[in-house]
């Protein structure tokens, strides 16, 4: 052979050709191959017949099943077949050893297989000094590569150190590098040993740089994670890789937040606040606790109904129909609501929000009429129970510095309602109390004052929210327990208890049909005469409202339902509840009349008492005994009632001569005043 790479005719051979997919065989490599394509198996068999020599060349596209000349590279490797074994699945396992590089001269695709005329690639003479220097650099760099890449066995370094042939050294090393197929093919096609070594050195240095970047990414990710978050490791690694490459996920959570912010009609102050929080979130680790707090805050701000209002229905006639359909009586309440709607239709949305307080005993329909008001207006309705609320933060929200901070009940109600002008019912406002955490009643001043609630400040959202379009309705049983400044901001409508006649109408119109529906008696008719229904009201209840009345009618309905199931009555049957059946269903009467004695009695007088759950009849008993003119008062009476008793006695003494009582009688007798039910405290202005 010549020094310049000229070829003799003996260097050209006609060999069976085996196209490879996704792999490259270098000279000096000993590797097993698994062959499955029929033409490839034929090539192996043909090679066995002719000295076991075979030409291997890599396909440019691994998906092609029957490649042509343009589908394979120009240069491949001539190999020797060491061993061949046919497997049960009709594939062949063959052990080959790479011999030398060769270039395709002629490509012959036959029906039985591939053949090629190949020319052996002859390397040019090289400068030994440059080669020696390059080899030393390659060995040093490869040693670094082996230390970084744990997939290469360290024993390979010892075998590499003993190799003196530069061509063989390059081919063995490149076979162990993690390189793409085109890059390895570039090294295979480098016939010049000097060029091959330079390429190898360049590729190894590039691989080392990639491995170092991977290690930096891995270190950064691990430093950001806690031990309890190992399951997120792969996702974090991917994020770090994207960050290293300067890529950005367009459909990220932050992107969605920015899109929502652009579509949301937030006030300027709130818009700037959310923008600032989104910028802060971008610079945080997604797994940090603070990021979760910021993310929750942004979510709250973007879900609140800023500047979103429902259109009011100010039709007074429509409102009257709804109120009359849903409630019997309650004339004062209905009139005030109709007046409010009439004013709204004249003033429009510029009018200030109305603060109504429905005061009365339990069960008289305070909550339900608020719901009917919302329906008549066409507004959303939300109920807030204030019973037992002691913490000011329940109203104004918690500051975000606290763990688990949330907005207050008012802001939460607006979020649930989905509009900035709902009807909000503040139920049982008289049941609020205060402790060391603050006074929620004082916090309610800002909520209910029309002059202040336009700029309501919740500690959590940290920006002002306009509550002026909200219609607040409160309910209370005892106005005396509401602080004066808070009560001053309300328009109080007293909802009195129902008379027996009103209860009778409510029972016939609403409660009995409701009881039948709830207890599965829709297909049956339950009749109850006015007399029997009044017996239920007077003999089994003693309340201002109708809750106990409703429970008793439910009891009757359940008894009838049991009878229907037990006796298999057909649908459509009528049940007439008589006084006798009423006693069977509800037992003996619990109350007899009003409690007034049938005949007047000496030493007994009836008084009237007011309670938060309705009026009461109060018996006052007096007895005199020989004594020294002392007065004794029992029955757990308060100071006001005791003073009233003494004042009454003084008045009787002052007119004793006119009513025929000897003045000395008061000095010789003791007077004992007693009010029954001694365990119940009694006091107040009703005395």
pLDDT-based confidence at residue 168 (cuts at 50, 70, 90): confident
Classified by CATH at the fold level, domain 604-674 comes out as Ribosomal Protein S5; domain 2 (3.30.230)
User: pLDDT tens digit string along 31-65?
Assistant: 899 988 888 888 888 888 888 889 999 998 888 88
Range with the poorest average pLDDT among 358-372, 381-395, 438-452: 438-452
Tokens of 640: 């006001």
Q: CA 493, 496, 497: angle at the middle one, nearest 5? A: 155
**Gap between the Cα atoms of 249 and 233, Å rounded:** 18
Closest CA to 586 of 533, 545, 509, 510: 533
**Gap between the Cα atoms of 25 and 10, Å rounded:** 23
Winning range, highest mean pLDDT, from 159-163, 421-425, 614-618, 636-640: 421-425
Give the neighbor-by-neighbor strand order of the sheet with 604-611: 604-611, 614-626, 669-674, 631-634
Beta bridge partners of 86: 92
Q: Could you give the 3-state DSSP secondary structure of residue 79?
A: strand
The CATH code of domain 9-120 reads: 2.30.130.40
Query: Does the pLDDT of residue 456 top 80, yes or no?
Result: yes
Length of the chain: 687
Q: Where are the alpha helices (DSSP H) in 327-365?
A: 331-347
User: What average pLDDT does this structure show over 281-298?
Assistant: 82
**Gap between the Cα atoms of 514 and 500, Å rounded:** 19
Tokens of 122: 């002859």
| Phi, then psi, of 101 in degrees rounded to 5 | -75, 150
Place of tokens 């008001």: 373
Beta bridge partners of 20: 58
Q: Is the dihedral of CA 578, 584, 586, 587 positive or negative?
A: positive
User: Which contiguous run of DSSP H or E holds residue 575?
Assistant: strand 574-577
Q: Are 172 and 164 in contact (CB under 8 A)?
A: no
Note the pLDDT of residue 398. Answer: 87
pLDDT-based confidence at residue 680 (cuts at 50, 70, 90): low
Q: Are 566 and 573 in contact (CB under 8 A)?
A: no
**Gap between the Cα atoms of 601 and 620, Å rounded:** 11
User: What average pLDDT does this structure show over 463-489?
Assistant: 87
The CATH code of domain 316-494 reads: 3.40.50.300
Tokens of 224: 């950001």
Q: Are 450 and 355 in contact (CB under 8 A)?
A: yes
User: pLDDT tens digit string along 554-607?
Assistant: 999 999 899 888 887 777 788 888 888 888 888 888 877 555 665 677 888 888
- Strands annotated E in 61-150: 75-86, 92-109, 114-120
pLDDT-based confidence at residue 7 (cuts at 50, 70, 90): very low
Note the pLDDT of residue 2. Answer: 36
Dihedral in degrees, nearest 10, Cα atoms 126, 127, 133, 138: -10
User: What average pLDDT does this structure show over 525-537?
Assistant: 88
Q: CA 34, 35, 41: angle at the middle one, nearest 5? A: 145
Classified by CATH at the fold level, domain 128-217 comes out as Methane Monooxygenase Hydroxylase; Chain G, domain 1 (1.20.58)
Query: Does the pLDDT of residue 436 top 80, yes or no?
Result: no
Query: Does the pLDDT of residue 11 top 60, yes or no?
Result: yes
Closest CA to 31 of 95, 105, 120: 95
Classified by CATH at the fold level, domain 500-586 comes out as Helicase, Ruva Protein; domain 3 (1.10.8)
């Amino acid at each position: 052979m010549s020094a310049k790479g000229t070829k003799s005719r003996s260097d050209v051979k006609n060999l069976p050709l085996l196209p490879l997919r996704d792999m490259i065989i270098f000279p000096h490599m000993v590797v097993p191959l698994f062959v499955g394509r029929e033409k490839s198996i034929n090539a192996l068999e043909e090679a066995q017949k002719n000295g076991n020599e075979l030409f291997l060349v890599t396909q440019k596209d691994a998906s092609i099943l029957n490649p042509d000349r343009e589908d394979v590279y120009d240069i491949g490797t001539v190999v020797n077949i060491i061993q061949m074994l046919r497997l049960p699945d009709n594939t062949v396992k063959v052990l080959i050893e790479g011999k030398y590089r060769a270039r395709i001269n002629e490509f012959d695709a036959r029906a039985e297989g591939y053949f090629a005329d190949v020319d052996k690639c002859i390397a040019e003479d090289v400068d030994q000094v440059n080669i020696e220097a390059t080899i030393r650099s390659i060995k040093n760099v490869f040693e670094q590569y082996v230390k970084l890449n744990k997939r290469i066995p360290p024993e390979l370094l010892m075998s590499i150190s003993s190799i003196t042939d530069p061509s063989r050294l390059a081919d063995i090393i490149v076979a162990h590098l993690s390189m793409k197929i085109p890059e390895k093919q570039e090294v295979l096609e480098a016939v010049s040993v000097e060029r091959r070594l330079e390429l190898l050195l360049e590729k190894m240095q590039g691989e080392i740089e990639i491995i170092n970047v991977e290690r930096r990414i891995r270190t950064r990710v691990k430093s950001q994670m806690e031990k309890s978050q190992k399951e997120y490791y792969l996702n974090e690694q991917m994020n770090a890789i994207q960050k290293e490459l300067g890529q950005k996920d367009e459909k990220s959570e932050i992107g969605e937040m920015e899109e929502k912010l652009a579509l949301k009609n937030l006030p300027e102050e709130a818009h700037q606040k959310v923008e600032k929080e989104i910028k802060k979130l971008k610079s945080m680790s997604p797994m940090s606790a603070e990021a979760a707090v910021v993310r929750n805050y942004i979510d709250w701000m973007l879900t609140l109904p800023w500047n979103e209002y429902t259109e009011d229905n100010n039709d007074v006639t429509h409102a009257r129909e709804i109120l009359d359909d849903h409630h019997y009586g309650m004339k004062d309440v209905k009139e005030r609501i109709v007046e409010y709607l009439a004013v709204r239709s004249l003033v429009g949305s510029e009018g200030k929000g109305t603060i109504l307080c429905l005061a009365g005993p339990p069960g008289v329909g305070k909550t339900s009429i608020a719901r009917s008001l919302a329906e008549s207006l066409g507004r959303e309705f939300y109920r807030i129970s204030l019973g037992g609320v002691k913490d000011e933060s329940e109203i104004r929200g918690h500051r975000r510095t606290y763990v688990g901070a949330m907005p207050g009940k008012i802001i939460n109600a607006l979020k649930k309602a989905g509009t900035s002008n709902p009807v909000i019912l503040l139920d049982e406002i008289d049941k609020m109390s205060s402790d060391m955490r603050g006074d929620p009643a004082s916090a309610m001043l800002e909520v209910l004052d029309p002059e202040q609630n336009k700029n309501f400040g919740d500690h959590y959202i940290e920006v002002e929210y306009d509550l002026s379009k909200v219609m607040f309705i409160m309910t209370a049983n005892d106005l005396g327990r509401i602080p004066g400044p808070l009560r001053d901001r309300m328009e109080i409508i007293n909802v009195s208890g129902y008379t027996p006649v009103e209860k009778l109408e409510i029972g016939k119109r609403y409660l009995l049909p409701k009881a039948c529906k709830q207890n599965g008696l829709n297909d049956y008719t339950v009749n109850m005469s006015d007399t029997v229904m009044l017996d239920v009201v007077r003999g089994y209840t003693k309340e201002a409202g109708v809750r106990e009345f409703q429970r008793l009618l439910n009891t009757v309905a359940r008894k009838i339902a049991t009878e229907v199931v037990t006796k298999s009555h057909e649908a459509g049957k009528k049940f007439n509840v008589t006084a006798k059946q009423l006693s069977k269903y509800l037992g003996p009467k619990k109350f007899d009349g009003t409690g007034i004695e049938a005949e007047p009695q000496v030493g007994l007088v009836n008084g009237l008492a007011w309670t938060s759950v309705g009026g009461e009849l109060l018996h006052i008993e007096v007895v005199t005994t020989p004594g020294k003119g002392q007065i004794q008062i029992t029955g757990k009476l308060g100071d006001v009632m005791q003073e009233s008793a003494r004042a009454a006695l003084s008045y009787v003494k002052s007119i004793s001569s006119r009513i025929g009582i000897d003045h000395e009688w008061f000095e010789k007798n003791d007077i004992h005043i007693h009010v029954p039910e001694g365990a119940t405290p009694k006091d107040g202005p009703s005395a």
